Amino acid sequence: MFASLATHRFRPPPCRTAGAARRFAALCVGLAVVAASPFAAAQTPGAWPAKPIRLVVPFPAGGSVDATSRALAQKLGEQLGQPVVVDNRPGAGGNIGMDVVAKSPPDGYTLGMGALSTHAVNPALFLKMPFDAVKDFAPVSLVVVTPNVLVTNPQALPATDVASLVAFAKANPGKVNCASGSNGSAGHLACELFKLQTGAPIAHVPYKGGGPAMTDLLGGQVQMMFDNMASALPQIKAGKLKAFAVTTPKRSALAPELPTMAEVGMKDFDVFTWWGVFAPAGTPPDTVKRLATEIGRALAAPDLREKWLASGAEPSASTPDEFRAFIARELPKYARIVKESGAKVD
């Protein structure tokens, strides 16, 4: 009996109609294609994210962009149920890191924390860019906006206000250096505008990130800096830096006692720092929308919001369309500043 069963060829029951047979065959082929596809799980609605996400930070560890990125990454990881890992790729004013993002697969698993420099200033400042700041990215959401503030090391520069700072620089050529976190940063452009409007012989000294620039300012190796409020405010409160004015049209609610640059005689000083999340161009719109929603949730969290506001950074979530429109306004604004100031990559 067992031998006869072993040699018996199994035949499925015949289909009742030829049409049923064709439908069955088509179903089998379709299931085979789906099962064979390595992206089947990723393409299933609601499956993203199915693995850790990389957040490229195009500036060094230790600076304000890095600190903001790490806080956001932790919150997003909690919300998404997948780790969001920060990957610092500094260099060339942020261009190196954002080039990594631009050339990554558009699958939602590589993001970049772009900034004013990478997406508004560098396109005008650098003769050759490794990426197109508009075409190669999908804007996700603005994250933080922070005013810049003119600060000096009172031990290294005997100035009590902007007028005496300018007078000292003119009387002592070569003795006043203005630090910035990188070429193309808001701090760099503010330095150039300051030199343009005052005629003071001040040298711009770019660093590889805001952290190293602040370290040298506190150490007296450089004398002044237009730093973002998030980074400078703790040092101002501690009495280690002297603040003169903010570079925005209105006074900052975080330091209302500080005048604007316009109030001390410097017109058209509308220079502020911002950071935002970008994905590679071609990232699925549903993934971009989901990311923007989750970033909005993270920025609304009381613990994160209060922490950033206390340090001088204003959480500023946006939709992808709003962020795209914002960048479209920033690009011509800084192209004009670069041209008029003659700013160059040192």
Instruction: Classify residue 140 as left (phi > 0), alpha (psi -120 to 50) or beta.
Output: alpha
102 and 156 fall within a common domain: no
Q: Are residues 289 and 240 in the same domain?
A: no
210, 234, 264: which is the final residue of a domain? 264
Sign of CA dihedral 259, 263, 267, 268: positive
User: Where a domain ends, among 264, 293, 318?
Assistant: 264
Same domain, 153 and 257: yes
Question: Within a domain: residue 39?
Answer: no
Mark whether 137 and 283 lie in a shared domain. Answer: yes
Mapped onto helix, strand or coil, the DSSP state of residue 177 is strand
> Are 257 and 192 found together in one domain?
yes
- For the chain, the first-to-last Cα distance in angstroms comes to 90
What integer is the mean pLDDT of 61-79? 92
Determine the Cα–Cα distance for residues 109 and 209; give it in Å rounded to an integer. Answer: 25
Q: SS3 for 288?
A: helix
Q: Could you tell me the pLDDT band of residue 60, with boundaries at 50, 70 and 90? A: confident
Number of separate domains in the chain? 2
Task: Confirm whether 202 is domain-assigned.
Answer: yes
Has residue 5 been placed in a domain? no
Q: Residue 5 is inside which H or E element, if any?
A: helix 2-6
What percentage of the chain exceeds 90 in pLDDT?
Answer: 61
Q: Evaluate whether residue 11 is within a structural domain.
A: no
- The alpha carbon of 80 is separated from its chain's Cα centroid by a whole number of angstroms, namely 20
Which residue(s) pair with 245 in the sheet? 150
Q: Which of 52-56, 66-70, 305-309 has the lowest mean pLDDT?
A: 305-309
Q: What is the mean pLDDT of the chain?
A: 86
Looking at the structure, tell me whether residues 281 and 138 fall in a common domain.
Answer: yes
Assigned domain for 110 exists: yes
Output the pLDDT for position 46: 56
Residues 137 and 63 in one domain: yes
The tens digit of pLDDT for each residue in 159-203 reads 999 999 999 999 999 999 999 988 878 898 899 889 988 999 999
On the question of pLDDT at 308 being above 70, the answer is yes
- Bridge partners of residue 87, in order along the sequence: 56
If you count them, how many residues does the chain have?
A: 346
Q: Which residues pair with 278 in a beta bridge?
A: 112, 139
Per-residue pLDDT averaged across 195-221, rounded?
92
- Boundary of a domain, candidates 240, 264, 288: 264
Provide the domain limits for residue 294.
Answer: 53-145+272-341
Same domain, 181 and 250: yes
Considering the domain boundaries, does residue 205 fall inside one?
Answer: yes
DSSP string, 229-249: HHHHHHHHHTTSSEEEEESSS
Residues 241 and 297 in one domain: no
Q: Which residues contact 321 (CB under 8 A, 6 or more apart)?
A: none
Torsion of CA 326, 328, 333, 337, to 10 degrees: 110
Which pLDDT score is estimated for 268?
80
CA distance 148 to 101: 27
Per the DSSP assignment, residues forming a β-bridge with 56 are 87, 112
Domain-embedded: residue 333:
yes
If asked whether residues 151 and 238 sit together in one domain, one would say yes
Instruction: Give the E-state strand segments of the chain in sequence order.
Output: 53-57, 84-88, 110-115, 137-152, 177-180, 203-206, 224-228, 242-246, 272-280, 314-315
Instruction: Calculate mean pLDDT across residues 224-240.
Output: 90
pLDDT score recorded for residue 204 = 94
For the residues 230-240, what does the mean pLDDT come to? Answer: 90
Whether pLDDT at 294 is above 90: yes
Average pLDDT (235-240) is 94
Is residue 245 a part of any domain in this protein? yes
Low-confidence winner among 19-23, 92-96, 303-307 (lowest mean pLDDT) = 19-23
Does residue 6 have a pLDDT over 80?
no
Q: What is the pLDDT of residue 346?
A: 56
Q: Which is nearest to 111 in space by CA: 276, 273, 330?
A: 276
Joined together, the tokens standing for residue 337 give 């500043």
Same domain, 121 and 188: no
Please report the pLDDT score of residue 230 as a whole number: 76
The more confident residue out of 273 and 25 is 273
Q: Is 65 in the same domain as 135?
A: yes
Per-residue pLDDT, 340: 83
How many other CB atoms are found less than 10 A from the CB of residue 240? Answer: 16
CATH number at residue 61: 3.40.190.150
**Alpha-carbon Rg of the chain, whole angstroms?**
27
